[in-house]
Amino acid sequence: MSTITTPKVGAVYKFTFDTAYAAFDGIYRVSGIQSYDEYVASGGDIGSDFFSPNNQESALEDELPTVRKSPILKLESPDTDSTDNPKYAPLCYVSETPDYNVKKYNKFGMITYIGLCEDPTVFDFIKDTVVETVEAAFGITPEPMFVTTGEQWMTEAEFNNVLKSRDESKKKILNYYSENLRLEKELSQAKTKLNEYEKIIISLQSQVNKLKA
């Protein structure tokens, strides 16, 4: 077995244990290291703390001489605000030097308020758009879902006013979109003309060079 570097108290590591004790594999903050005698003196029971959770109670008697020579690690959740349910593990069962190249990454989502709606299925197309966009940009397949954030009583006339207001907004957006298309078309035409002018200039320059020769 290769030599295992003893982890530092207060640091966070990914731990990998021998196969029989793989139930303890995971990322932990090392909150303490004790000798076996210190661990027992503080009320520790290696049978219930380590062998039982790994379903290795039958191995305790044979393994105890090895355990008594090993430092006992106190392992807790890497989140500093969580100190519940620490785990105790003999260092001798760590199969490789704990990996310190770990950090916390954000689980990111997106929440947006859409507004009042009579038939939520009209927004289903948004799911496909979100999935396609995020997959193309990041290689992530999101799972968008719609939820009801509440309800509001109103008359049919009031709801129709809401729809009318939305129609006005759509007209503005469509006008903006149409204007963009018009400008893009004009820009494309201008680029075509510039290319033609460039060809004419090159042709004239070539003729001038021939006359000079």
Q: What is the largest CA-CA distance in the chain?
A: 106
* Segment 21-45 mean pLDDT: 96
pLDDT at 161 over 80: yes
The phi and psi torsions of 99 (rounded to 5 degrees) equal: -85, 120
Q: Nearest CA to 38 among 47, 46, 28, 48?
A: 46
What residues pair up with 74 in beta bridges, in sequence order? 32, 88
Which pLDDT score, from 0 to 100, does residue 124 have?
A: 81
Which pLDDT score, from 0 to 100, does residue 97 have?
A: 94
Give the confidence band of 75 by pLDDT, cuts at 50, 70, 90: very high
pLDDT 10s digits, 190-202 = 888 888 888 888 8
Which pLDDT score, from 0 to 100, does residue 184 have?
A: 77
Element (H, E) at 28: strand 26-34
pLDDT at 86 over 70: yes
Residue 6 is encoded by which pair of tokens? 């003893």
Which pLDDT score, from 0 to 100, does residue 212 have?
A: 74
pLDDT 10s digits, 103-152 = 988 888 888 888 888 887 877 878 888 888 889 988 999 888 888 888 88
Give the confidence band of 89 by pLDDT, cuts at 50, 70, 90: very high
Which pLDDT score, from 0 to 100, does residue 69 have?
A: 95
Give the confidence band of 23 by pLDDT, cuts at 50, 70, 90: very high
pLDDT 10s digits, 27-38 = 999 999 999 999
Which pLDDT score, from 0 to 100, does residue 55 have?
A: 95
Residue 4 is encoded by which pair of tokens? 């295992």
* Segment 39-47 mean pLDDT: 95
Give the pTM: 0.62
